[in-house]
Chains A and B, each alone.
Chain A
Amino acid sequence: MTSLRSKGTFLKLYSWLPLIILFISVLNEFDLNYLNLDYFSFNFPFILIFFFTLKDFKNFDYIFVFIAGLFNDTVVGLPLGISSLSYILICIATSYFRNITIRPSPIKDWFYFLFVVSLINSINYSILTLFFSFNLILMNYLVNTFFTFTFYIIFALVFKHYLKSIND
């Protein structure tokens, strides 16, 4: 009986894993760059949100995505609401893409992801420079977009396995 209950708790926790990872990643703001490579950075929350909202994952509530954005702004030091807006815009883009797609394909998702990330980073850059007078390096955004796009396909494979294990 106890083992069944603990198994149930584990499964519940496992089904909430994407959200837990999202919160850990925004609080930690890790970019795994221990080698101090110039410009290297990638936006892991973008990949996570894009994938799981595209798949319409049941435990990936938009309100939590919104709160994760607020946390990210606090940790990074950006004006409150910027990351929330970015994350919600990803959700809108994925929701729209899900509606118009009849036959999903990972390659199509990947290139749509590039378009979405570029668009959102552009919006981000514009808001920060125009309304908040931040001095930002455009090259950082471009490299960040490139690495986020590159790593998407790798993480997508891992997440696919996760989804498969959940469905099983």
Chain B
Amino acid sequence: MSQSQQGSPSSPPEGAIAIVSPRYGEEVVGGAEDVLADLAHGLQARGHAVELLTTCAADHFTWANKYPEGRFVDGELTVRRFRTQIDTPGHNRDRIGARLLAGDAITVQDQQLWVNDSLRCSGMWHHVFDHGHRYRSIIFAPYMFWTTYAVSQIHPRRSLIMPCLHDEPAAGLDIFAAMIEGAGGLLFLTEPERELAQRLYRLPARNTIIGASVDIADSYDPESFRRSYNIEGDYVYFAGRREWGKGWDDLKNAYGVYLQQRGGRRALRLVTSGVGEVIAPLGAESQVLDVGLLSNAQRDNAMAGAAAYVQPSAMESFSRTVLEAMAAGTPVLANGHSDVVSWHLDRSQAGLTYTSGSELVQALHFVTDEPEAAASLAQGGRDYVLANYRLDPVLDRLSIALDNWFPTPTSATHERPLEGVR
């Protein structure tokens, strides 16, 4: 991605669409961020005036300011970057977060302390405060970040929130309920995500499922990936954030047990790409390979070469990587506690779900012992992705939502029917 700086910030063009993403850039790994970047570039390519508002950070743990602040142009897309403030010790975040995880009731005051005791981006807030009225609509994701919480409430009825909702304690907080219930519209990625939202909130009438797009390669070259990293033999693959919240620890532990149980028999290696520290289980160091950040093409090749793709996260609102694996013709082993991933697999039949560490271990044995049967599971996967998750239908659905909910003088005068992704 090449970006050219356009000098000091100026007012946005009247009627532009703003897309607010916590992070943006080639080094950024994050499902919501990827979806937002696709939407921004896609709408821009269709002739909309679009501005992507984001922070100067690339790492969602440190939120350090890596990129310069200012207004840039990436291709045709205007990107405005604002510096983050990480100037609190995080004691409130830790203290209240622990109570939240323990299931305690949290007062509104404490909820506000919690959400403000992490990343903040006052420059972005003041930009939207001063110029937000010029935007036709402002699209935010995901729900839990300060950039969404604080900024979407400046012009809530102009705000389109794509919550990327997970079934987690934070989703039940009053502050997020007020934000979501008061939004100008909601965009969901899947039907299970909307069902979860309906259980948690009083949803505004303006809500729809637009889905999201997945990079679908025309062809794959798994051998080039193997050659690049000297990989011999079969492997299972995980791509994404290697962190507790994404189920990485569960995968790592199950893989350690699996290796022990294999003993001297043939075993699959565990190959992983993405961000976050990788510490292999004791005795399995040579079997776990961290290839770091991959280009989209190399990631697709890694997917295509894998005996199975593992999705250990229960907190998925879309699960882009699962769909990328399906598109590559690779069977998926997924955490069945995620309603969204189970939903994808129920519809595509392109993999297996597990609901415990032991089940994951056995699933790994199955893929090792019965590779052909495992591969045959993936047959319907690519067609499922092609039918539902290409960019054009997603942009069509978003455009209809924008025209219906935030019409411009040149928008269609009659409401067009919104058909959610099925």
A and B bound?
no
